[in-house]
Amino acid sequence: MIHSMKKFLPVFIVLFLVLSLFNPVGVNAVSKSASVQVSGSIGEFYLNISGFISPFASIVMTSDGVFIRATVADENGNFSISEILIKRGFSHFCLDAVDFKRIGESYTCFSFPPADSDITMTDIFLPPTLGLSRSEIAEWSSAIAFGYTMPNANVTLNINGKELFTTADSTGYYQFKLTNLRAGSYTLYASATYHKKHSLSPTKKLILKSLTWWEEFLLFLKDLWQNFLRLLTSISLGPLWLVIPIIILIIILILKIWPEWFDFLGKKHLHHYYFLGY
């Protein structure tokens, strides 16, 4: 038997060498994969920006909805974002700022010629953050607009072209009380002046709606219906045996209060009026 194995040994060696030459996971394959080089670049220029808004405001930088960088202003309201790699042709970005109490927002976008070198933007005065106590109010009622900017800055609130003025306190907080608003839609945005430096104009503006009593009533019915649907969808145990009786009781209640709503069917079809108390 040993003699037979010695006889076929050269054949085994030849087969092993042949298979090694074509084996994709052999020594040659490893040496080839080890020589592969991977490299990439996400930009060739740098973007550097700095400015001020309000103390401790949070600022997020985006471009086309893609997050780039975030930072927080210091106790003096100053912020900076530096050494952001950008590609050739980069031409726009947005800064979304929220004050430290998160009651208002300031959203501003920037556009410039396509980049062919490093870009540096300094002394940017972002618009004050702005929020509303309510976005929908009854006609002739009031709402409060508030936000933050640089401490002791002069603040202007633009509401449908009409300007209101105030001065921020030592923390940068300001507010306006809006009263006697007729029914309609109002566009609001805030700007500020600090040490003779004017803030930029925000890209996004707030909408305040003053509603008539009829619009308020329709809104109330809409909210009531949504709450009712939410109640129905929240029932998980045996919804049919619970929901159907509730609907029947609601119909009976409506017919008790407004029986004329049922007259369109005609009395000849209502031989069960006694069930409703007739």
Q: Residue 174 burial by CB count (10 A; 0-12/13-18/19+): exposed, middle or buried?
A: buried
Q: Are 82 and 111 in contact (CB under 8 A)?
A: no
Instruction: Give the mean pLDDT of 214-230.
Output: 80
Tell me which residue of 174, 248, 183, 175 sits closest to 209, measured CA to CA.
Answer: 183
Neighbours of 221 (CB within 10 A): 10
Who wins on pLDDT, 160 or 215?
160
Question: What pLDDT score was predicted for residue 146?
Answer: 98
The model's pLDDT over 191-210, given as tens digits with 9 standing for 90+, comes to 999 999 999 999 999 999 99
- Buried b / exposed e over 101-115, threshold 16 CB at 10 Å, is bebbbbbbebeeeeb
Share of the chain above pLDDT 70, in %: 72
pLDDT at position 139 over 70: yes
pLDDT at position 186 over 70: yes
Q: CA triplet 189, 179, 194: central angle to 5 degrees?
A: 35
Tell me which residue of 137, 175, 142, 172 sits closest to 157, measured CA to CA.
Answer: 175
Neighbours of 74 (CB within 10 A): 13
